[in-house]
Structure 1
Amino acid sequence: MTLSATQEERLLQLNALDEIRKSTLQHTKSIQNQRMKWHDRYIKDKSFKLGDWALLYDLRYKDNLGKLHTRWLGPYEIVETFSNGAIRLSTVDLVKFKLLFNGHRLCLYHKPLSKDDFLQQFSTTKHVEIPTATSDGFAVTTPS
């Protein structure tokens, strides 16, 4: 059996189509690897524990670039974490939110130290001198 010219041409086109498919699959894999490397380099996973305090990003001000608007709400306490990154929050008054929030919208909040805690923390170290104010306004350093 001999193949006619049109049948041979059709077989060549099918072979070329397979080669095009393979090259597009290789190109797609290389693009996916580049995106995965970028994602791993620039996007970090945030891990929160129960009892941590967090600030919630307010999406209302995403497009408004006013410099005096606060973009963070809170602080809120983390009540429950889920494996998919969702987090349940509660207010300072221990009122739980019904909604779940994405962990990428949260920022870890560190409670500020009170003045007494601050002084106590630095008084325990031996090489730090704490300045004390006198009645005339001049500071006198006393070694601890």
Structure 2
Amino acid sequence: MDLLNAGEHRFLQLNELDELRLGAYDNSMLYKERTKVWRDKRLCRKEFKVGNKVLLFLSKFKIKQPKLTSRWIGPYVIKHVYLSGYVELLKKDGGSFIVNGHRLKLYHEEEAMEGVTFEELSFDLEE
């Protein structure tokens, strides 16, 4: 047994192990960066404008919600949008309050179909 050769061989093995560890660390950092870019591209940005109608999420029903009740209340009208993401909403009685923009979603009103009868609606199921 040559102790110098054995020590040199062990030193090379430890260096190779360190290189593998550093390579794995670099690969994990690349993976995190790529997944962050992928996720950020698919993230839906909410852009509210003054005068839009929105629905407000009731966070008190987040854990257990009573049956047949909605988690959304409103619609409210936006009075002011802050740069920090907060939104000031108008109440029906004329007052206002500030909420986080993450708790809001746009309210889409149904278009009224006045004067349209069932016979006028055509369903082309044969095509």
What is the TM-score of this pair, normalised by structure 2?
Answer: 0.65
> What residue is the counterpart of 2:25 in the other structure?
24
Query: How far apart in 2 are the matches of 1:9 and 1:29?
Result: 30
Higher relative contact order (Cα pairs below 8 Å, separated by 6+ residues): 2
Q: 2:83 and 2:11 mapped to 1: Cα distance?
A: 52
Task: Provide closer, same or farther for how the CA distance between residues 131 and 10 of structure 1 changes in structure 2, counting only shifts above 3 A.
Answer: closer
Deviation at 1:7, TM superposition (A): 7.6
Structure 1 distance, partners of 2:34, 2:66, is 38
TM-score by structure 1 length?
Answer: 0.59
- Corresponding pairs, count: 116
Question: Is residue 2:14 matched to residue 1:13?
Answer: yes
Please tell me whether the aligned partners of residues 57 and 105 of structure 1 are also in contact (alpha carbons under 8 angstroms).
yes
The whole-number CA distance in structure 1 between the counterparts of 2:54 and 2:32 is 36
Report the counterpart of residue 127 of structure 1 in structure 2.
none
Distance across 2 between alignment mates of 1:40 and 1:69: 34
Counterpart code for 1:100? V
**1:77 corresponds to:** 77
- Name structure 2 gaps, 5 residues minimum: 121-127
RMSD: 3.4
The Cα of 1:44 is off from its aligned counterpart by 1.1
